[in-house]
C-alpha cells in the first residue's frame, strides 16, 4: 500500500510544453471510430464517476448535464434514467448512432440550422440530445446552460493549443451553482505524444482557477497492458471537482 501511495504522489513532468504543438484533425477522430480505434470507450462506465456520483449530483433532481466529446458514453443513459436531461456533443455520427442502438433507445435526427452540416439526435423520450458537430462551433447554437458537466476524455482529447478556448466554452455553458467534474491523465509526455494528452495540475488551475474553486477528489493508477504500446510505464488519472467561486 505504501508503494501505491508513493507512486500516486509521483512528481509531475516538468516540461509541460512538450505536447503543445500536437494536433489531431476532426477527420482523424472520425477515422478512429471507423477503424474501431476507440480504446477510450468504457463499456462499464467510469468507475470514479460511480464512486463520486452522490458528491457530483448532491441529491438534486431534474438537472441539465453536459457531456463534451461524448462518444457513446454509457453514463449518458445513467443520468437520463435518474431523471436528468442530458446533452452531448460529438464529431462522430457513427459514435452517436451506436450510443442509441447499444442503449436500445429510439431517436430522431434533424439538421441544425445554426451550423451548416451539423445534426442533432434526440431520444424519443426527449431527455437525451446529442449534437453532431465541432465542439468549437457549438456556441453558435443556443443549447442553454447546465447544472453539471462531466468531462472525461474531453479536455485530454482537445488539441493542447485549443484548451483555453475549450475551457472558455465550457464555463460559458454553466449556470449558478454548477458542478464540473473533470478527469485528466498524468504520464511522461516525452514518451507518448497523445491523445489522450497530459494535463498537469497547473494547467487545470490556469484554465479554470479564475472562475472555479478546484478540489482534487482522487488520484488512481489506471495503467493497463495496452498502455505499454504507448511507451509509458505509468499513467495516473486525477478527478477534479470544480465549482463556481
Question: Can you give the pTM of this predicted structure?
Answer: 0.92
Q: Tally the C-alpha atoms within 13 A of residue 206's C-alpha that lie toward its C-beta.
A: 10
Q: Is residue 19 very low, low, confident or very high in pLDDT (cuts 50, 70, 90)? A: confident
More confident residue, 87 or 12: 87
Please write the tens of the pLDDT for every residue from 133-146: 999 999 999 999 99
For each of the domains in the chain, give its residue range(s) and CATH number, in order of start.
20-33+58-140 (3.40.50.150), 144-244 (3.40.50.150)
pLDDT > 70: what percent of the chain? 90
At 14, is the pLDDT very low, low, confident or very high (cuts 50, 70, 90)?
low
Confidence of residue 5 (pLDDT cuts 50, 70, 90): very low
Q: What pairing do the DSSP bridges indicate for beta strands 146-152 and 174-186? A: parallel
CA dihedral 93, 98, 99, 104 (to 10 degrees): 140
Name the one residue in this structure whose C-alpha cell is 477528489: 217
Is 60 exceeded by the pLDDT of residue 244? yes
- What's the pLDDT score for residue 11? 56
Residues 6+ apart with CB under 8 A from 87: 64, 65, 66, 67, 128, 129, 130, 131, 143, 144, 146
Cα separation, 67 vs 86, in Å, equals: 7
Give which of 25, 186, 21 is closest to 91, Cα–Cα. Answer: 25
Is the sign of the CA dihedral 89, 94, 97, 102 positive or negative? negative
Q: Residue 68 above 60 pLDDT?
A: yes
Amino acid at each position: 500500500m505504501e508503494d501505491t501511495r508513493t507512486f500516486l504522489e509521483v512528481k509531475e513532468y516538468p516540461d509541460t510544453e512538450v505536447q503543445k504543438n500536437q494536433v489531431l484533425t476532426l477527420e482523424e477522430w472520425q477515422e478512429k471510430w471507423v477503424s474501431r480505434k476507440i480504446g477510450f470507450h468504457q463499456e462499464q462506465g467510469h468507475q470514479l464517476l460511480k464512486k463520486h456520483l452522490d458528491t457530483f449530483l448532491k441529491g438534486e433532481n431534474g438537472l441539465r448535464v453536459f457531456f463534451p466529446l461524448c462518444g457513446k458514453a454509457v453514463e449518458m443513459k445513467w443520468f437520463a434514467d435518474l431523471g436528468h436531461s442530458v446533452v452531448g456533443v460529438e464529431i462522430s455520427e457513427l459514435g452517436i448512432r451506436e450510443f442509441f442502438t447499444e442503449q436500445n433507445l429510439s431517436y430522431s435526427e434533424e439538421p441544425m440550422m445554426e451550423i451548416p452540416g451539423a445534426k442533432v439526435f434526440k431520444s424519443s423520450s426527449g431527455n437525451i440530445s446529442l449534437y453532431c458537430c465541432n465542439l468549437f462551433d457549438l456556441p453558435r447554437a443556443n443549447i442553454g446552460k447546465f447544472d453539471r458537466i462531466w468531462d472525461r476524455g474531453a479536455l485530454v482529447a482537445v488539441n493542447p493549443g485549443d484548451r483555453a478556448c475549450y475551457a472558455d466554452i465550457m464555463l460559458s455553458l454553466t449556470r449558478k451553482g454548477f458542478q464540473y467534474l473533470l478527469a485528466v491523465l498524468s504520464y511522461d509526455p516525452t514518451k507518448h505524444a497523445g491523445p489522450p494528452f497530459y494535463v498537469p495540475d497547473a494547467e487545470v488551475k490556469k484554465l479554470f482557477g479564475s472562475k472555479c474553486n478546484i478540489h482534487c477528489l482522487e488520484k488512481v493508477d489506471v495503467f493497463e497492458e495496452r498502455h505499454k504500446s504507448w511507451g509509458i510505464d505509468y499513467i495516473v488519472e486525477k478527478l477534479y471537482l470544480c465549482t463556481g467561486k
